[in-house]
Amino acid sequence: MESDRSGRFQRVVLVGFMGSGKTSVGRALARLLGWSFRDFDAEIESRTGRTVPEIFRSRGEAFFREVEERVGRRLLREERIVLATGGGWGAVPGRLADLPPATLSVWLRVAPEEAVRRVRADGTERPLLETDDPLKRARRLLAEREAAYREANLVLDSESAPPEGLARTILESMRVSGGEASVPHAKNG
């Protein structure tokens, strides 16, 4: 039964840097749970009718962050849902401490070198990495964001397993912790 698989959790929020695999792990986990899946960037794009890079170009990052915040607030009311956030959403200090009850937060950790490699490979433009030296920018952003990401209930090394394997690890930890407010800070690498 679904409830046996998810403990008493109602939602899972995946946070982490660009290229950490939030979308692919989120989809795999939603499939295993039989829950819905939503991706923040896709929601933002369908609400505004513009792509994320277009929003950054035409309205600026501050506007993007406002829309992202609103989308996040709305999606966090849903139940039986897996949410793939954008890399900046979980980087706001205190945001993960403020999640609704019955929410499991998971940080998918990735090294900056691997993040830049994956982002290049997937061909989707990431406005914040459009610089002469994306690796330097990724290192700086990650250093700034790490403390906020670390607030997640569960920390997984995204390079340790393919998306399906990471999804299974998350599912297992949901079962073990049974939906308690806090899950021990598990690490898999």
The residues of the shown chain that bind ligand S3P, judged by CB under 6 A, are 18, 22, 41, 52, 86-88, 126-128
φ, ψ for residue 157 (rounded to 5)? Answer: -80, 110
The minimum distance between CB 127 and ligand S3P, in angstroms, equals 5
The minimum distance between CB 4 and ligand S3P, in angstroms, equals 31
Q: Which is nearer to ligand S3P, 12 or 18 (CB)?
A: 18
The minimum distance between CB 179 and ligand S3P, in angstroms, equals 26
Q: Which is nearer to ligand S3P, 6 or 95 (CB)?
A: 95
- Strands 11-15 and 154-157, how do they pair? unpaired
Quick one: tokens of 24? Answer: 């692919």
Q: Which is nearer to ligand S3P, 39 or 177 (CB)?
A: 39
- Give how far Cα 59 sits from Cα of 87, 147, 189, Å: 19, 28, 40
Half-sphere exposure of 174 (CA within 13 A, CB side): 29
CA–CA gap between residue 86 and residue 45 (Å, rounded): 12
The minimum distance between CB 81 and ligand S3P, in angstroms, equals 17
CA–CA gap between residue 44 and residue 58 (Å, rounded): 14
8 A C-beta contact, residue 85 and residue 14: yes
Q: In a 3-state reduction of DSSP, which class is residue 36?
A: strand
The minimum distance between CB 175 and ligand S3P, in angstroms, equals 27
The minimum distance between CB 114 and ligand S3P, in angstroms, equals 13
Q: Which is nearer to ligand S3P, 22 or 95 (CB)?
A: 22
Q: What is the CB neighbour count within 10 angstroms for residue 16?
A: 27
Q: Which is nearer to ligand S3P, 141 or 170 (CB)?
A: 141
Q: Which is nearer to ligand S3P, 4 or 132 (CB)?
A: 132
Which DSSP letter does residue 127 get? G
